């Protein structure tokens, strides 16, 4: 079993190779581990210097390839699966390294924390997803570079039905530019191995139109998603994107306890998907001025304790 991984905060690639009871990590820091298999627990031992990055890559490779595995110890230091996937350094490039004390501001009549804002083109998250055999990434859109793709996606009937943005390029460019300066949202592209697959728009619910419709908290997040590349439609890819999106939003801001979504209540594709993913639940239906919506919720503890990655 051999796989290459990107350590996002180092911006470094590592290769993990598991063969004949030995795990070899090769990259900026390289090390070889012997493995003691104790069923739901593995003990890794090395006489070499083990960096934190090499240790995390080793754990990622083993947790991916051994779904039944609950705990890994590296030179007697143990970590369980749910704790491992809450460590942002492997996958999350934005926010986690610059967490600051809360500062608050008004937007209109809403008092909310000051929100950090990445720049166009910034990589936010990247993770190898074994279920699709690809590396999935979220990067901030570039209004010039991504406009033609964004325009093509929104002018496909199955997208336009729910997004209602089948408009000329000039109007969609204004939409993206507005999103890039709006501190309550971050417009991103979803990519598989560098290929644009869809559009993922994340936002803070407190200052969003959704905020007044439920008991919103200061660091709740919400999102809108479309898969515009028709080659990547289907349950397996949707599952990979939504699990990775949920993972990213919880990693980026450790004070986020809930992630919300508000698709149209007749969007059966999303509703059926939520029924298969028990970290999410349908809270209620309600009426926006422009649509009847279903309010969906995912809580941090349900996601990480459920071993969904």
List, by residue number, the catalytic residues.
262
Counting residues of the chain whose pLDDT is more than 70, the rounded percentage is 98
Does residue 144 share a domain with residue 57?
no
Q: What is the pLDDT of residue 290?
A: 85
pLDDT tens-digit readout, 70-81: 999 998 889 999
Query: Are 132 and 235 members of one domain?
Result: yes
Identify the domain boundary among 84, 99, 134: 84
How far, in Å, CA of 249 to CA of 220, rounded?
A: 9
Q: Rounded CA gap, 135 and 234, in Å?
A: 17
**Same domain as 129, residue 192:** yes
Which residue carries 């493995």 as its tokens?
35
* Together in a domain, 175 and 28: no
pTM of the model: 0.94
Q: What percent of the chain has pLDDT over 90?
A: 82
Which of 51, 84, 117 is where one domain is finished?
A: 84
- Let me know: does 149 contact 156? Beta carbons within 8 Å: no
pLDDT (mean) for 43-55? 93
247 plus 288 within the same structural domain: yes
Report whether 166 contacts 160 (CB < 8 A). yes
181 and 153 within one domain: yes
Of 84, 117, 148, which marks where a domain is finished?
A: 84
Residues 6+ apart with CB under 8 A from 297: 258, 259, 260, 280, 281, 283
**pLDDT tens-place string over residues 74-122:** 988 899 999 999 999 899 987 665 677 889 999 888 999 999 889 999 9
Residues 186 and 37 both lie in one domain: no
Q: Does residue 154 sit in the same domain as residue 241?
A: yes
Residues spanned by the domain of 60? 2-84
User: What's the mean pLDDT in 211-234?
Assistant: 95
Residues 120 and 216 in one domain: yes
Query: Does 231 have pLDDT greater than 70?
Result: yes
Token pair 């890039």: residue: 180
More confident residue, 174 or 270: 174
22: helix, strand or coil:
strand
Residues 95, 230 within the same domain? yes
Mean pLDDT of 140-159: 96
End-to-end CA distance of the chain: 18
- The answer to whether residues 100 and 114 touch, using CB atoms and an 8 Å cutoff, is no
Domain count, the chain: 2
Residue 38: which pLDDT band, with cuts at 50, 70 and 90?
confident
Minimum mean pLDDT range among 29-43, 56-70, 262-276, 287-301: 262-276
Shared domain for 187 and 240, answered yes or no, is: yes
Six token digits for residue 257 = 């306890």
CA distance 293 to 309: 28
Q: What is the CB neighbour count within 10 angstroms for residue 136?
A: 24
Residues 159 and 120 grouped into a single domain: yes
Q: Which residues pair with 186 in a beta bridge?
A: 202
Among 93-97, 116-120, 186-190, 288-292, the range with the most confident prediction by mean pLDDT is: 186-190
Rounded (10°) angle between helices 169-181 and 147-154: 110
């Amino acid at each position: 079993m051999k796989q290459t991984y990107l350590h996002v905060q180092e911006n470094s690639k590592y290769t993990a190779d598991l063969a004949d009871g030995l795990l070899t990590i090769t990259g900026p820091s390289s090390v070889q581990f012997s493995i003691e298999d104790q069923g739901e627990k593995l003990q890794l031992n090395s006489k070499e210097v083990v960096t934190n990055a090499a240790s995390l890559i080793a754990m990622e490779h083993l947790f991916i390839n051994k779904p039944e595995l609950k705990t890994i110890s590296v030179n007697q230091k143990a970590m369980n699966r749910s704790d491992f996937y809450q460590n942002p350094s492997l996958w999350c490039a934005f926010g986690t390294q610059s967490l600051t004390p809360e500062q608050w501001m008004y937007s209109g009549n809403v008092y909310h924390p000051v929100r950090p804002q990445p720049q166009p083109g910034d990589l936010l998250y990247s993770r190898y997803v074994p279920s699709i055999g690809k590396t999935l990434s979220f990067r901030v859109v570039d209004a010039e570079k991504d406009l033609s793709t964004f325009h093509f996606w929104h002018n496909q009937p199955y997208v336009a039905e729910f997004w209602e943005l089948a408009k000329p390029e000039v109007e969609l460019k204004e939409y993206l530019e507005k999103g890039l300066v709006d501190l309550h949202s971050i417009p991103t592209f979803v990519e598989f191995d560098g290929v644009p697959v869809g559009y993922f728009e994340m936002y803070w619910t407190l200052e969003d139109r959704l905020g007044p419709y439920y008991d919103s908290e200061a660091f709740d997040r919400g999102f809108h998603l479309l898969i515009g590349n028709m080659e990547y439609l289907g349950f397996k890819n949707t599952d990979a994107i939504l699990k990775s999106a949920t993972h990213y939003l919880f990693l980026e801001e450790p004070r986020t306890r809930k992630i919300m979504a508000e698709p149209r209540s007749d969007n059966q594709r999303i509703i059926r998907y939520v029924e298969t993913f028990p970290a999410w639940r349908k809270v209620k239906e309600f009426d926006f001025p422009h649509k009847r919506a279903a309010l969906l919720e995912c809580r941090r503890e349900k996601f990480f304790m459920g071993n969904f990655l």
